């Protein structure tokens, strides 16, 4: 049985599914729309129990999931990567414990949190951000969750390139990701996973054009739509509102220049153009 301890970051779910993520400190109170809850009334209870506000309203005490932490705990200073994309990209980019992963920019640290939880222990996240105040906020967010030990925060622009080489995966959440593909190639291991999120279709076109011209193969473009339902058995139906658009995900793999044509020199459409490195294999089964 897991007991609620002082210093824990806990999830409280109150009436009408109002959710709060709180770091518990003896002597403090949580103010809610249905009354106050004393942290001392929660500390020492078992996770999964109920507690009551001073107005007698029930609250469920749970350990927060990464999903809860990203949506409710991260102090946001800009757009974050939503859990639906963050969770999916972990699978698409094969990010797991022990992996070395680069991300840029750090932003509020929404994705950094997810990456840090995935690569720990033994792995590392190298998180680049041009703006100092953004990265300080992200580092605070990660420190509160005791996840900063898996992250190297690097406060600088990625234009000159990354410090690391042979990383397993690299994710860009910056305005014009296509501008940084040579830097990404230099940092990724051969066959390594590239990913990016862009909010508009013209940005997708720009990025996949650049990927096709660069040393990348297996280019994929995807969009994820998530519809939540009201969990009422007698009146089961979708929620009234949904997050209609977050961004488009673009994935690719770093490939060895011309490696494909050396082994398959009868496939003329993928032959490199003279003097160039055209590796547009998007419609060639690799």
Looking at beta carbons only, is 83 or 217 nearer to ligand SAM?
A: 83
Select the residue interacting with ligand SAM from 128, 150, 194, 281 (CB under 6 A).
Answer: 128
Distance between CA atoms of 126 and 129, rounded to whole angstroms? 10
Q: Shortest Cβ distance from residue 183 to ligand SAM (Å)?
A: 10
Q: Shortest Cβ distance from residue 227 to ligand SAM (Å)?
A: 22
Tokens 């961004």: give the residue: 247
Work out whether 278 is an interface residue with ligand SAM (CB under 6 A).
no
Q: Which helix (H) or strand (E) holds 203?
A: helix 201-213
Contact pattern for ligand SAM over residues 130 through 169, marking x by CB under 6 A:
xx--x----------------------xxx----------
Q: Shortest Cβ distance from residue 171 to ligand SAM (Å)?
A: 8
Complete DSSP assignment for 100-157 = EEEEE--TTSHHHHHHHHHHTTT-EEEEEES-HHHHHHHHHHHHHTT-GGGEEEEES-
Q: Shortest Cβ distance from residue 249 to ligand SAM (Å)?
A: 12
Q: Which residues lie across from 3 on neighbouring strands?
A: 46
Select the residue interacting with ligand SAM from 173, 187, 198, 203 (CB under 6 A).
Answer: 173
Task: Please say whether the beta carbons of 28 and 39 come within 8 A.
Answer: yes
Contact pattern for ligand SAM over residues 179 through 198, marking x by CB under 6 A:
--------------------
Q: Segment near ligand SAM (CB under 6 A), from 26-34, 57-65, 99-107, 254-262?
A: 99-107
Q: Segment near ligand SAM (CB under 6 A), from 23-31, 101-109, 115-123, 270-278?
A: 101-109
Distance between CA atoms of 265 and 262, rounded to whole angstroms? 6
Among candidates 136, 146, 133, 84, which has minimal Cα distance to 111? 84
Work out whether 90 is an interface residue with ligand SAM (CB under 6 A).
no
Distance between CA atoms of 106 and 116, rounded to whole angstroms? 12
Distance between CA atoms of 115 and 125, rounded to whole angstroms? 7
Looking at beta carbons only, is 41 or 158 nearer to ligand SAM?
A: 158
- Binding residues (CB under 6 A) for ligand SAM: these are 78-81, 104-105, 107-111, 128-131, 134, 157-159, 173-175
């Amino acid at each position: 049985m897991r007991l609620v301890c002082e210093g824990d970051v806990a999830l409280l779910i109150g009436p009408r599914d109002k959710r709060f993520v709180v770091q518990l400190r003896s002597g403090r109170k949580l103010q809610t729309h249905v009354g106050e809850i004393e942290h001392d009334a929660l500390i020492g209870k078992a996770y999964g129990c109920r507690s009551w506000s001073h107005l007698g309203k029930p609250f469920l005490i749970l350990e927060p999931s990464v999903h809860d932490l990203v949506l409710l705990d991260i102090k946001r200073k800009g757009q974050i990567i939503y859990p639906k994309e963050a969770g999916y990209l972990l699978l698409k980019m094969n990010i797991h414990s022990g992996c070395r992963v680069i991300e840029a920019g750090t932003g509020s640290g929404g994705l950094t949190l997810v990456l840090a939880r995935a690569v720990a222990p033994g792995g590392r996240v190298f998180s680049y951000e041009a703006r100092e105040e953004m990265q300080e906020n992200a580092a605070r967010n990660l420190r509160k969750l005791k996840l900063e030990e898996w992250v190297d925060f690097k406060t600088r622009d990625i234009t000159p390139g990354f410090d690391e080489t042979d990383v397993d995966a690299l994710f860009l959440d910056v305005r014009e990701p296509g501008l940084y593909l040579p830097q990404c190639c230099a940092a990724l291991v051969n066959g390594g996973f590239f990913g990016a999120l862009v909010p508009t279709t013209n940005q997708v076109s720009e990025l996949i054009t650049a990927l096709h011209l660069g040393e990348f193969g297996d280019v994929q473009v995807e969009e994820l739509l998530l519809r939540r339902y009201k969990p009422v058995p007698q009146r089961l139906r979708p929620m009234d509102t949904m997050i209609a658009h977050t961004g488009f995900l673009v994935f690719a793999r770093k490939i060895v220049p011309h490696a494909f044509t050396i082994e398959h020199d009868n496939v003329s459409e993928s032959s490199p153009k003279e003097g160039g490195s055209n590796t547009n294999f998007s419609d060639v089964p690799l």
